[in-house]
Structure 1
Amino acid sequence: MQNSSNFERGLQLYELNRFKDAIPYFENELTQNIDNFEAKLFLAYSYFNTDDISNAKNLSIELRKIAPNYAPTYHILSQIALHQEDNKNAKANIEQAISLDPFNADFFGSKSYILINQKEFSEALFYANKGLEIDAKNRVCLNARATCLTKLNLKEEAQETIENLLNDDPENSFSHANVGWSHLENNNLKSALHHFKASLKIDPNDEYARDGMLTAVKAKNVIYNWYLRYAFWMQKKSGKSQIFSLIAIYLVYRFSVKLLAFSGLSFLALPLIILYLLFALGTWIMEPISNMILLFDKYGKYLLDKDSRQSGQTMLALFSISIVSYLANLLLNLDILFLLSLSSLAATLPLSKAPLNYKKDSKIFDYIYGSIILLAPIIGYIIGYDLETLLTTLIILFVAYTWLASLIFR
């Protein structure tokens, strides 16, 4: 059956990456020809590429029922699952797609990205290379390969892949953004900014490039640059390796606290606690801290949106309260000032993250829980609880938050 003008125009717009504009044409085609399978497939991909995940998933499931042995259906279901951080279903669907069509390089590139998300970089590189054996110029596989080589710290091979990628398709927004992130991870800020700028010139709405540009601008600040190096280092590690690293940092921290107490330098404990939290929770609080830093940057402050600015201001206010209260306690020796210092410091995590949450329930939870961390010790002191009980309660509240936030609300 010959496709209509609606389908042809939708396909033209789709191939130009104008997914939002393509959607009405595919929808109009389906009102006239509800059985047009191709129109449904491209409409599902268009929904996915415009972040309409619910419609993309529903339509993809419908397509799977219509044609249970059609590989691209499993590919888009895999992409949707990966977007929803469901690695298990993402992997299962892409493996089904590969079993149905083992000569589609895009499928191997997609599997490589799933493995990258699981931090299985060596295996991810294997599948990227396998896809390139099918199609040596496949963009998905080349981008995945560049990411794998960067994560594996194989800089020369990564650079060669990057050059081939951009030589073959210099007008691809995603490729420039991906190359920018690769340079950013290697702390080459000038090259990173160049490629993010090139990506945004091609596609001004590319969020991947916009995030990269903002991160690169933040990384010009020495303090944030340290955090970024730490975050990239932690991102390369598996879950078990991250746990071992944090345990090692904790042991060093505990030893240092005892050494300070033995040496009569207990007043340095708070700065040490702050340093420890920056390392242990660096990937959690990096964005609020960088937003706080950009508040004082002549140009960087204009890059912050309303939520990012509020996050930075909250971080600054709580840090200031914590430090001022601690210094005041050294002079006045009042337990309530010490409690205020620690509770303000602990509350920075939920309260500075709250404005950045896209999910309403997570945002509300962070605000409520952060307020409890901030106020509960002070109220408890006023009521008459002893200092040791209140400090224990504060620690339990803080540790409980890190578990609840990561396991339930994220």
Structure 2
Amino acid sequence: MNYSTDWLPRVQLLMQQNRLPQAADELRRQLSLDPHEPVAHSLLALCLLDDAQRLPQAQEEAELAIHLAPEYDFAFYVLALVQHRRHRPQEALAAINQALALDPADASYYHLLGQLRLESGQWQAALQAARTGLSFDSEHADLHGLEARALARQGRGQEASEAARVALGHGAESSSIQAQAGWVALETYRSKEALDHFREALRLDPTSDFARSGLVEALKARYWVYRTFMRFIYWVNSLSAGLRRGLLLGAYVVARFVPWLLPFYLVFAYLSWFKDPLFDSLLRLNRYGRYALSPAQTLHSTHFLALLGLGLAAGLARLLGAPVPGLSTLALVALGLLFPLVGTERLASQPKQHSYSRWAGWALAAVGALAVALAVLGIPTQLLMVFIYGTVAYTWVFALR
């Protein structure tokens, strides 16, 4: 076997230069000489992270590195990164905890742990992870950015802004740090400042989806309805899980017993569901917004507008007394299908649930289409009620879980 490490500096240089395909080729050459090198397998997994089609291969490489060196903490860290990219938070959490068990003093490990906690809504745990990591590396810019995000989610705006400034002081030339600062500004109600950070992040890395999605949110925040609604959402997210559930349940109960509040509750409920496609559609009228939206967001907006327009047009025609059978059924089906359409898009980061939601949506569409056809033909049927109950069941199974 060839135990020389001459290859390692070359690979590290290529990776620093973001020449990942060349680094991967170099690693494969090394592994052809020594297939039992855990460092090479781990680095190859890292090189494959940015290619969604190769994430299964990246996972195989990381797991092979762990098999070859069960005490190699970096291999567990790489496996956690891969699982994170594959939207498997529990598996990623198990891997990063194992990495920390082997090396409890690596700041980057705490950064990934904090990210996972932040994404699962555990704001205090994310903050604790960030500050523990900073105790080992006080100049870790990503950890300062994570600290700022966790503070912002807890409603501690002044502290969050200060942490974001510290992060920028250590990594102003990093696209991810600029994007983190943008999200902090957005979540502390400074949308103009957020726009500047997201634009700078995209200048530094035009391919950053994290920065692009932030830019879209900042552009939508220019609409006062969206901005006001999101302020409420950020405030709700700063509460504990128990308080959030109590608030939403209490709002429903109050709306039931105070009839004049019911329209406000319904507006809140519908905005909760449809704010993203609705305001994405409005952004298509903005000269900057239409370029900020991804192709997937634009396509989703088109589908949303088509169903919404069809439902409203059919409903209006029915109200105006158009002599066309089935208009009421068509309006209800078109508007009802907005729920699985938007719900499926929300689950895009959860492949299994996304697939189930898509099939449920197609099933509802088939029932709805048949109900419309029978209504047009004047054939009595209970399919419309089946569709309505199915739509309600969908919201409980997929959206409120």
TM-score if structure 1 supplies the norm length? 0.82
Quote how far apart the aligned CAs of 1:25 are: 2.3
Quote how far apart the aligned CAs of 1:227 are: 4.6
Partner of 1:375: 369
Partner of 1:301: 290
- Range that drifts further, 153-162 or 354-363: 354-363
Amino acid at match of 1:75: Y
- Range that drifts further, 21-30 or 168-177: 21-30
Report SS of the residue matched to 1:332. Answer: coil
Question: Contact 2:371 / 2:383 at 8 angstroms: preserved in 1?
Answer: yes
Tell me the distance in 1 between the aligned counterparts of 2:20 and 2:229.
Answer: 36
Question: Contact 1:311 / 1:354 at 8 angstroms: preserved in 2?
Answer: no
Amino acid at match of 1:384: P
Q: Residues 184-199 of structure 1 correspond to what in structure 2 (within 5 A)?
A: 184-199=186-201
Tell me the distance in 1 between the aligned counterparts of 2:387 and 2:246.
Answer: 25
Q: Residues 95-174 of structure 1 correspond to what in structure 2 (within 5 A)?
A: 95-174=97-176
Question: Contact 2:39 / 2:65 at 8 angstroms: preserved in 1?
Answer: no
User: Residue 313 of structure 2: which of 320, 324, 338 is its match?
Assistant: 324
Partner of 2:327: 337
Deviations 1:289-322 (A, max 9, x none): 1222123334423444444333222222322333
Quote how far apart the aligned CAs of 1:129 are: 0.9
Question: Contact 2:65 / 2:75 at 8 angstroms: preserved in 1?
Answer: yes
After superposition, the Cα gap between the structure-2 partners of 1:238 and 1:31, relative to the gap in structure 1 and judged at 3 Å, is: farther
Partner of 1:400: 393
After superposition, the Cα gap between the structure-2 partners of 1:394 and 1:370, relative to the gap in structure 1 and judged at 3 Å, is: closer
Instruction: Quote the RMSD (CA, aligned, Å).
Output: 3.3
Partner of 1:180: 182
Partner of 2:16: 15
Amino acid at match of 1:128: A
After superposition, the Cα gap between the structure-2 partners of 1:177 and 1:17, relative to the gap in structure 1 and judged at 3 Å, is: farther
Tell me the distance in 2 between the aligned counterparts of 1:299 and 1:106.
Answer: 35
TM-score if structure 2 supplies the norm length? 0.84
Question: Contact 1:94 / 1:107 at 8 angstroms: preserved in 2?
Answer: yes
Q: Residues 266-305 of structure 1 correspond to what in structure 2 (within 5 A)?
A: 275=267, 277-279=269-271, 282=272, 284-305=273-294
After superposition, the Cα gap between the structure-2 partners of 1:249 and 1:304, relative to the gap in structure 1 and judged at 3 Å, is: same
Amino acid at match of 1:316: L
Question: Contact 1:250 / 1:276 at 8 angstroms: preserved in 2?
Answer: no
Structure 1 unmatched runs, 5+: 261-268
Tell me the distance in 2 between the aligned counterparts of 1:301 and 1:37.
Answer: 46
Q: Residues 306-317 of structure 1 correspond to what in structure 2 (within 5 A)?
A: 306-317=295-306
Deviations 1:310-365 (A, max 9, x none): 32222223223333333444443999433333222111233466689586946853
Tell me the distance in 2 between the aligned counterparts of 1:17 and 1:184.
Answer: 30
Report SS of the residue matched to 1:103. Answer: coil
Quote how far apart the aligned CAs of 1:87 are: 3.2
Question: Contact 1:285 / 1:353 at 8 angstroms: preserved in 2?
Answer: no
Tell me the distance in 2 between the aligned counterparts of 1:24 and 1:254.
Answer: 64
Q: Residues 342-353 of structure 1 correspond to what in structure 2 (within 5 A)?
A: 342-351=332-341
After superposition, the Cα gap between the structure-2 partners of 1:39 and 1:117, relative to the gap in structure 1 and judged at 3 Å, is: same
Structure 2 unmatched runs, 5+: none
After superposition, the Cα gap between the structure-2 partners of 1:193 and 1:366, relative to the gap in structure 1 and judged at 3 Å, is: farther
Quote how far apart the aligned CAs of 1:180 are: 0.9
After superposition, the Cα gap between the structure-2 partners of 1:378 and 1:252, relative to the gap in structure 1 and judged at 3 Å, is: farther
Q: Percent identity?
A: 25
Quote how far apart the aligned CAs of 1:151 are: 0.6
Tell me the distance in 2 between the aligned counterparts of 1:43 and 1:212.
Answer: 30
Quote how far apart the aligned CAs of 1:233 are: 4.5
